[in-house]
């Protein structure tokens, strides 16, 4: 009770996600991470990439834009809770694939941004992207026969393809849409 004799209630908010590696968090504790997926937030990943480019802290690096193919279908046919589970699963796949070579963030709905810094060459980048694509495709195989999950990605190299974030993003985004136009479930590197 406060000094006026009124009862006050204080508490803590816990978020428990079935497939998340992060089991609990307090409200506002980590504004740099997307609450559901544990990936960096849009602003945090953009700031990170812009800082790396501005400070030239990275050698050849790649900006990848990714989204889950037909994600609206997942939400419409299986429900938003299952859609959230899919996003957490995809985020975990991305985190596992880039843990030693880059960072990833969620920039909206089912769209992710991946910045790969510590790869020797284009072949190594392809290996990372192929791992993500394959693991997303196989995430629900044998679990749900009515779900055919896949993702599309577009990538561009810094400083080879563009020397600033905006141009680099535009090129990678264009490659994403080219991947979608060419049948989805693939990656295209500029």
Q: Which residues are catalytic?
A: 110
- Count CB neighbours of 89 within 10 A: 19
DSSP string, 84-112: HHHHHHHHHHHHHHHTTTEEEEEEETTEE
Cα(171)–Cα(26) distance, integer angstroms: 38
Instruction: Region of 59 please: left (phi>0), alpha (psi -120 to 50) or beta.
Output: beta
Lookup result for tokens 């428990």 = 16
SS3 category, 83:
helix
SS3 category, 174:
helix
Cα(39)–Cα(32) distance, integer angstroms: 9
- Give per-residue burial for 43-70: e unless 16+ CB within 10 Å, then b: ebbbebbeebbeeeebeebbbbbbbbbb
């Amino acid at each position: 009770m406060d000094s006026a004799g009124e009862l006050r209630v204080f508490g803590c908010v816990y978020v428990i996600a079935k497939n998340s590696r992060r089991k609990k968090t307090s409200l506002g504790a980590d504004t740099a991470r997307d609450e559901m997926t544990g990936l960096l937030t849009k602003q945090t990943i953009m700031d990170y990439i812009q800082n790396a480019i501005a400070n030239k802290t990275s050698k050849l690096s790649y900006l990848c834009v990714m989204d889950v193919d037909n994600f609206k279908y997942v939400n419409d046919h299986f429900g938003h809770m299952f859609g959230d589970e899919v996003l957490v699963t995809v985020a975990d796949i991305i985190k596992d694939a880039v843990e030693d070579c880059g960072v990833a963030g969620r920039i909206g709905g089912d769209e992710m941004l991946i910045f790969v810094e510590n790869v020797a060459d284009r072949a190594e980048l392809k290996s990372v992207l192929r791992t993500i694509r394959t693991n997303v495709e196989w995430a629900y195989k044998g679990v749900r026969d009515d779900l055919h999950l896949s993702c599309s990605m577009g990538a561009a190299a810094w400083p080879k393809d563009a020397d600033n974030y905006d141009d680099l993003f535009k090129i990678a985004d264009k490659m994403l849409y080219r991947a979608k136009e060419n049948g989805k479930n693939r990656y295209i590197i500029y």
